[in-house]
Amino acid sequence: MPRIVSDRANKTDQVVLLPSSLEDPTKAPPGAYRVLIWTACISISAFFAALIIAYVWRSGMASYWEPFRLPRVLWLSTALILASSVTLETARRVFRKGQWRVADRLLLVTATLGIAFLSAQLVAWRDLLRQGAYLMENPHSAFFYLFTGLHAAHLLGGLIALFVVVFGRKKRRELVDVVSYYWHFLTVLWLILFEVLRTVT
């Protein structure tokens, strides 16, 4: 099968060859995954931006807006997701050097940290329930569940993508790149959400 050189070949000391999608229509052309993931990130950003605007606007209305104590475990959540971004970025860089086994281990560490993050979010929900902050009774807590729940759902998608990369048969560097981009995006998104939840009460 004909081979073409990746557009990232000049960024590494090793030339990367990818299957030519021009001859094989079942293969995605180089760069297609990156375009898709950035399009998805822009859409998700617009969606969460609308939610944040609605949250800030609703917080200015005193009716039925009851404050609650932000669960302390969210600080642990933040540390976990930041650590997972570090391990994933390290995995991406060592993968570029051809150290696939080391990269796989780091990807599994990232997945473990991601699962720990989701577990910490469940603990935060349990903390809110103990405070009497339920989903349907208080718009303030409803936004909290909405923010954290939707973010957790997107992170779960990132976890699935991580496992596909680790246990998949083909190790394409572009897949590792787009998964890391998406994960870093979710990390930044969580930092924004956490700051909004922490400051807007």
Q: Residue 59: which pLDDT band, with cuts at 50, 70 and 90?
A: confident
Structure tokens at 196: 């909004």
Residue 22 located in a structural domain: no
Q: Which residues contact 76 (CB under 8 A, 6 or more apart)?
A: 120
Share of the chain above pLDDT 70, in %: 81
Give the containing element (helix H, strand E) for 84.
helix 73-96
Q: How many distinct structural domains can be found in the chain?
A: 1
DSSP letter for 27, please.
S
Tell me the pLDDT band of 131, cut-offs 50, 70 and 90. Answer: confident
Query: Distance (Å, rounded) from C-alpha 94 to C-alpha 61?
Result: 51
Query: Residue 186 corresponds to which tokens in the numbers above?
Result: 């979710």
Q: How many helices (H) and strands (E) does the chain have?
A: 5, 2
Residue 52 lies inside a defined structural domain of this protein? yes
Residue 14 domain-assigned (yes or no):
no
Residue 104 located in a structural domain: yes
* Confidence at residue 99, expressed as pLDDT on a 0 to 100 scale: 86
1-46 pLDDT per residue, tens:
444 444 554 555 555 554 544 444 445 555 677 888 889 999 999 9
Radius of gyration of the chain from its Cα atoms, rounded to whole angstroms: 20
Burial category of 43 from C-beta neighbours within 10 Å (exposed 0-12, middle 13-18, buried 19 and up): exposed
| Position 6 in a domain | no
Q: Give me the domain span that covers residue 189.
A: 31-199
In a domain, 44, yes or no: yes
Residue 163 is assigned to a structural domain of this protein: yes
CATH code: domain of residue 119: 1.20.120.80
